[in-house]
Chain A
Amino acid sequence: EDKVVQSPLSLVVHEGDTVTLNCSYEVTNFRSLLWYKQEKKAPTFLFMLTSSGIEKKSGRLSSILDKKELFSILNITATQTGDSAVYLCAPYNFNKFYFGSGTKLNVKP
């Protein structure tokens, strides 16, 4: 059965800290993995990862995929209060996206 596990479920840090969010998956015919940020509204796209070992960066956020060990991580450096959100990972296999339950990040001033 296809499954996605995100960890930790929730995380509280202070501004300036660095955080690492984890996503492990077992998805048949895996093609790519997407990360989303969700605040109080609809999810917004962060990254799409298709190749193993290639880091994608966007400002203070970066992500990498390991297709051998079946996981991905999302790093956020120098966190800010605006980073507070639920972060969702979604492996994709051409048929559907499998959303994890998310990691709730709370960044305190």
Chain B
Amino acid sequence: DAGVIQSPRHEVTEMGQEVTLRCKPISGHNSLFWYRQTMMRGLELLIYFNNNVPIDDSGMPEDRFSAKMPNASFSTLKIQPSEPRDSAVYFCASSPQLTSGTDTQYFGPGTRLTVL
């Protein structure tokens, strides 16, 4: 199993540009999570999907952030326009079935985003 796949691994962009982060969950997993991690704020849950449907996006910082999951094997997190304070490592994680209460999450390697 390839695990959770994220791309790109590193992204450097200028303020105002659009950034799209991509995630492929583990095959057969029904839940997908997007996290952001910074030194100041630690690990934060941004949004999660269950069976491709967004369940809780209360962690999305503002309207500049949007996430989609068009099918069970792909999700995107988009930032438009990007700002320097968005610089962070963005993790995607997947879980077999969120509602079972017995499953854990498997994290991807993360995308390190730097906004200049």
Contact = CB atoms under 8 A, between A and B. Distances in A.
A41 B112 CA distance: 10
Interface stretch (B14-22, B64-72, B94-102): B94-102
A48 B108 contact: no
Interface residues of B, number: 20
B107 A43 contact: yes
A45 B104 contact: yes
Given A42-B109, A42-B110, A95-B55, A48 B42 contact: no
Nearest to A98: B45
Interface residues of A, number: 21
Contacts of B101: 31-32, 50, 92, 94
Nearest to A97: B45
Contacts of B114: none
A50 B105 contact: no
A94 B91 CA distance: 20
A45 B42 contact: no
Given A42-B107, A42-B108, A42-B109, A99 B91 contact: no
B102 A102 contact: no
A96 B106 contact: no
A42 B90 CA distance: 10
A99 B45 contact: yes
Contact of B102 (A43, A48, A101): A48
The 7 closest A-B pairs by CB, nearest first: A42-B107, A31-B101, A99-B43, A101-B42, A45-B104, A43-B107, A42-B110
Given A45-B104, A101-B42, 16 more contacts: A31-B101, A32-B101, A32-B102, A34-B105, A42-B108, A45-B105, A48-B104, A50-B101, A50-B102, A88-B43, A94-B98, A96-B48, A97-B33, A97-B105, A99-B42, A102-B43
